[in-house]
Amino acid sequence: MGCWLVLRPASIWSPAGSSSPRSFRVRRCTTRCSRSSRRPWRLSFSQSRRRPISDRTAANDALLGLTVRKSQHHAKGDARVRFRSTKTYGHDIGLSCCFRQWRSPSHCRFLHGYALAVHLEFEADDLDARSWVMDFGSLKPVRQWLEQTFDHKTLVAADDPLLSEMRAMDEVGLIQLVVLPHVSCEAFAEHIYSWVRGWLAQQNLSPRIRLAEVHVREHGANAAKVLA
């Protein structure tokens, strides 16, 4: 005979003390199975105040005792398992740079500066022998390059009409000039993406490790991303 699945209310689906009406479906399993060979099943329910699907899925998994790491369970399925790890160089490490967007009609055309934060996200299909995507200890050259490029530097676009004046200030030691093809938060993210991707190839870390994302933040309100 088939088996019956009876779903009971659980407090994780609604706030404590909530008296919202709810109804649950009771379904009969259509597959002949024994108690020792029943397949994992997902809860199915409806109620007047339904939470987002992601919340309901997390609640179901919690009841079933599943771990967050589902890749082992689904490794033989159709979905390809991927791993990601991140490295962040925050506002506090001192990537304090000065730049301007000379094409802007707003105050952004004036020299101004930020302590930039840089967030790198690496991706791999397989982990190394240490079960890592990236050895963060090997990223010291990346931090050194970031400091050489952004730390206490004045970044100027190659087509800036005042580039000669900037070069003059650099020659007398007033600024440390760095000339880039383009200047903006988006352009910085693209520049970092290109350099780090080339560094991965030089270190023979790619193609196993891929640079999936570069996130550059000026401050809490302004940021830009480059996605692979």
Going along the chain from its start, the domains and CATH numbers come out as 4-74 (no CATH), 83-227 (3.30.479.10)
Which residues fall within 8 angstroms of residue 120, CB to CB, at 6 or more apart?
86, 87, 88, 142, 192, 196, 211, 213, 214, 215
pLDDT of residue 157: 97
User: Where on the phi/psi map is residue 201: left (φ > 0), alpha (ψ -120 to 50), or beta?
Assistant: alpha
What does the alpha-carbon distance between residue 196 and residue 199 come to, in Å, rounded to a whole number?
5
pLDDT (tens digit per residue) in 122-148: 999 999 999 999 999 999 999 999 999
In 3D, which of 172, 38, 178 has the Cα closest to residue 99?
178
State whether residue 141 is helix, strand or coil: helix
Token duo for residue 205: 């870390």
Cis check for the bond before 15: say yes or no (omega within 30 of 0). Answer: no
For residue 69, count CB atoms less than 10 angstroms from its CB and return exposed for 0-12, middle for 13-18, buried for 19 or more.
Answer: exposed
Average pLDDT over residues 69-86: 62
pLDDT of residue 47: 42
Give the confidence band of 80 by pLDDT, cuts at 50, 70, 90: confident
Q: Is pLDDT of 194 > 50?
A: yes
pLDDT of residue 70: 37
**DSSP strand pairing (96-99 vs 153-157):** parallel
Give the confidence band of 73 by pLDDT, cuts at 50, 70, 90: very low
pLDDT of residue 81: 80
What does the alpha-carbon distance between residue 98 and residue 151 come to, in Å, rounded to a whole number?
9
Whole-number Cα distances in Å, 150 to 17, 130, 189, 191, 201: 54, 33, 12, 11, 23
pLDDT (tens digit per residue) in 106-123: 999 999 999 999 999 999
Handedness of CA 61, 66, 69, 71 (dihedral sign): negative
Residue with tokens 């909530």: 18
User: Where on the phi/psi map is residue 173: left (φ > 0), alpha (ψ -120 to 50), or beta?
Assistant: left
Give the global pTM. Answer: 0.66
Give the confidence band of 79 by pLDDT, cuts at 50, 70, 90: low
What does the alpha-carbon distance between residue 222 and residue 219 come to, in Å, rounded to a whole number?
6
